[in-house]
Amino acid sequence: MNHSISATQNSSTWFQAEAWKNACIKLLPQHAMKNPVMAIVWLGTLITFISTVLGKASLVFGLMVTFILLMTVLFANYAEAIAEAKGRGQASSLRQARQNLTARRILSLQDTEGTQISASALQRNDLIEVRAGELIPSDGEIVYGFATINEAAVTGESAPVLREAGTDRSGVIGGTKVLTDRIIVQVTAEVGHSFLDRMIALVEGSSRQKTPNEIALGILLTVMTVTFIIVVISLPIMAHFLNIALNPILLVALLVCLIPTTIGGLLPAIGIAGMNRALKANIIAKSGKAVEIAGDIDVLLLDKTGTITYGDRQATAFYALAGVADPELRQAALLTSLADPTPEGKSIVALAKEQGEKIQEPEQAEFIAFNASSRISGVDLAHGQHIRKGALDAILKFTSQDISQHSELKTRVEQVASKGATPLVVARGQNILGVIELSDVVKPGIKEKFARLREMGIKTVMVTGDNPLTAAAIAAEAGVDDYIAEARPEDKLNCIRAEQNKGHLVAMVGDGTNDAPALAQADIGLAMNSGTQAAKEAGNMVDLDSDPTKLLAVVEIGKQQLITRGALTTFSLANDISKYFAILPALFVSAIPQMSVLNVMHLHSSESAILSALIFNAMIIPLLIPIALRGVKFKPSTSTQLLRRNMLIYGLGGVLLPFVAIKAIDLIISPILMW
């Protein structure tokens, strides 16, 4: 326990030291110019120092103003630097996962020897063999075998996961460890562009791109800054006609208090912190834009299998139709599943074997693999028999029959579907033999999560290839708003486009290669880490935990990002109102006594007023850093309620707090200035 506390303290100290070091580095011109608002404050710092050296103000007052302005810039740099330091700390463990990796490259699936090479020498499409106890040297797809894999180095989750060739869970990540069995992996990543490489770049902030909202707000702040620069430059001209001498130090102080320094200093940190919060939830966002858009989505499409349900559908019963013997149905179902690599196919073989069927692969048979488009699989035997299993409508099409001709089949399918199970129909030639029941289980707690999404104004749509009855039963149990049954891959794509044409922002969760087009089309595509490489490449977010309900966390992080930026912007602009009442009377009250009316805080002197306003301006940035990094707490509410709360807390609070704080600072420093 003590060791853990000590390690945490050491880590915190390291973060702090690195952040302050980078804060000082960001004072260099090439870094400072990236933030126009703080660049102006930094320039003002140099002007006040030079003015003090030239004797434009008393030495003590001039140096105090210079020091306060310098600390304002450093605090703003520190806010960004500490957010980046957290990202680099998270990246260090990822780097360890890819160090000194070697690979056993093979020429073909039959090659049992292979050649040992460095992982950095691997090329796309190379075949590599990985055995139990070895690290996977590169991203890829399993093309042969299955294995349990420890992905703790990437996900932080110690529980091993199963990855298998020919399934939607065939993708593997370089740096993860094979615990059991032997697999052959086809490399899918170029050198330096692996999943780990991209993750490291993202969490370090080196690949972070500003979001559209962040860019727009940055432009607004720049325009405001330029406007106030023009105002301040014009003041000496006006003062000349009024025979008022304005000290350049006072003008710099006025400018710093006029421009939105608080939000200008915190804006980069807010953007970086958003991606860090996503990473903390084990979500890799390929851009800050994806995180932000997540806060605005209003339609969510989800697969049923593996998303709403566990996805490990198992054959639980065979139902033969009248005139068909049970062994006949079981044998036909067994034959259609011998070459079926899916968990469902394997469970059919296992159940048939369990009920007494012998497994004997027929000679000269041609197996028909399952196809997502046809939703059918089977076998063509040497003596001309064609046996198929698949969805009801697919089998009816295969047999050229109509459901009206099979009342018993219709009843049996409805009975299976009404239980929330999936019926598969088996046919030999033109004869329908019976139904296989595949059972799946809705994940616990998912109904509550969908209810929370509904509170946020997000519509949930379940997309499944199951028949309408099964789909309706699962949809009711899961609590989704709508469902699409008997859906093909293109139906998902069409649904997303239809919602987008209505003006909605759509999120899609998927893990398979057939989900890739929909993931790419959606405004937010959340791919499962356990899924195929194609899915991960198509999505703009990857969930390392492979938990489809994680989108709830993504939405909350996105909304929190938007709320945080809006709240701190409101607070920053509200602050300026109070600072005007401190600075303006101090500048002009001696020459224009009527301006004393604006001195509502009754500050001791012009010097103490300026210093108090500048000290508050500098101190408020580090005080708001925890909020910028942690984010404003999000609660499901309407936009009106959100605006009201934002204006009450950060608007009104932003106006009142400076009055109290500046007055308190004035009471503290005024005796010091009198010395």
Backbone angles phi, psi at 404, to 5 degrees: -65, -20
How far, in Å, are 114, 306, 441, 515, 527 from residue 140 at the CA level?
17, 21, 30, 18, 16
Task: Yes or no: say if 440 and 421 are a contact pair by the CB < 8 Å rule.
Answer: yes
The letter for the amino acid at 412 is R
Structure token digits, residue 497:
């486009």
**Distance from CA of residue 208 to its chain's centroid?**
13
Residue in the structure block whose two tokens are 């940035």: 621
How far, in Å, are 217, 647, 672 from residue 655 at the CA level?
21, 10, 27
- How long, in residues, is the chain? 675
Our answer to whether residue 303 is catalytic in this structure is yes
Q: Where are the alpha helices (DSSP H) in 589-652?
A: 606-630, 639-646
Rounded distance between C-alpha atoms, residue 568 and residue 624, angstroms: 8
Rounded distance between C-alpha atoms, residue 389 and residue 158, angstroms: 38
Q: At what angle do helices 248-258 and 606-630 cross, to 10 degrees?
A: 30
First to last CA, the chain: 51
Q: In what order do the strands lie in the sheet with 459-463?
A: 283-285, 541-543, 524-528, 506-510, 299-303, 459-463, 482-484
Task: Yes or no: say if 377 and 388 are a contact pair by the CB < 8 Å rule.
Answer: yes
The letter for the amino acid at 478 is A
Rounded distance between C-alpha atoms, residue 84 and residue 390, angstroms: 52
Rounded distance between C-alpha atoms, residue 616 and residue 662, angstroms: 6
From 197, 303, 545, 547, active-site residue: 303
How far, in Å, are 166, 186, 654 from residue 509 at the CA level?
20, 25, 40
User: Can you name the residues that pair with 164 across neighbouring β-strands?
Assistant: 146
Rounded distance between C-alpha atoms, residue 369 and residue 654, angstroms: 65
Task: Yes or no: say if 541 and 179 are a contact pair by the CB < 8 Å rule.
Answer: no
Task: Yes or no: say if 583 and 253 are a contact pair by the CB < 8 Å rule.
Answer: yes
Residue 151's CB: how many other CB atoms inside 10 A?
25
List residues with catalytic annotation: 303
